[in-house]
Copies of this chain bind each other. A is one copy, B any other.
């Protein structure tokens, strides 16, 4: 890939943010590790880290001298969940749906060519789908991925289909067919697409301006969520999604 839009962004900033993103995989890292991770010279990384540390985005563990995310991140993350965030507003409704169906309920929003699980309530059953909030997942596998693409902007669909995520043309064409099916049915399903033994049903949530803002997903083990069962549950999920859409701000 070429330099693309070399003028429109600031390289040093992007590099610093790449450093921050290293901490999604590991909680603490040394300078040399970070340097290797992002492929930059030690001195460059050191300078960038000093800037991050100065603003409190990164700190050094007093004992190990290793770098970790700083407390400014705690401060910022506390302000993430504003009252107008779907992840906050829809939580009670998600709990109701969880209690109704007995399975784990998740809420996804799209971010670029990926999706983020911004909220989740776990099933209380012994065998259940565990869904950590904050997880970033691909858009081209899973029920909510299909929903987010099928009911999203046409440009997104083009961009995803033209991207490099497909193992072969067959996979891409199968996905395209599933998109059509999703638009027709109003919901999507997935059987062991991303995790073996796991199944999911997902439906779009539209705000009052008829724009899709999130995907609501119910997921669990395949022996409880058979194809038939998912078809039945879909009605409840779509109804809940409709109700949720009316609760949103804009």
Contacts and interface: CB of A to CB of B under 8 A. Distances in A.
Contacts of A8: 47, 50
A72 interface: yes
A3 interface: no
A71 B111 contact: yes
Interface string A178-198: 000000000000000000000
Interface in A204-239: 209, 211
Contacts of A138: none
B13 A48 contact: yes
Interface in A1-41: 8-10, 12-14, 16-18, 20-21, 23-24, 27
Contacts of A21: 55, 72, 76
A74 B117 CA distance: 9
Contacts of A134: 74-79
Interface in A82-118: 82, 84, 109, 111-112, 116, 118
A148 to B, nearest CB: 12
Given A24-B76, A75-B136, A18 B55 contact: yes
Nearest to A56: B111
8 contacts: A10-B12, A17-B52, A23-B79, A64-B250, A73-B77, A75-B135, A77-B134, A78-B135
A222 B152 CA distance: 54
B17 A57 contact: yes
A17 B111 contact: no
A63 interface: yes
A9 B51 CA distance: 5
**Shortest beta-carbon contacts, A-B, top 9:** A78-B134, A77-B77, A71-B111, A13-B51, A9-B51, A17-B55, A27-B82, A13-B16, A71-B116
A62 B116 CA distance: 17
Nearest to A116: B71
A141 interface: no
A9 B54 contact: yes
| Central interface residue in A8, A112, A209, by most chain B CB within 10 Å | A112
Given A9-B54, A14-B54, A116 B74 contact: yes
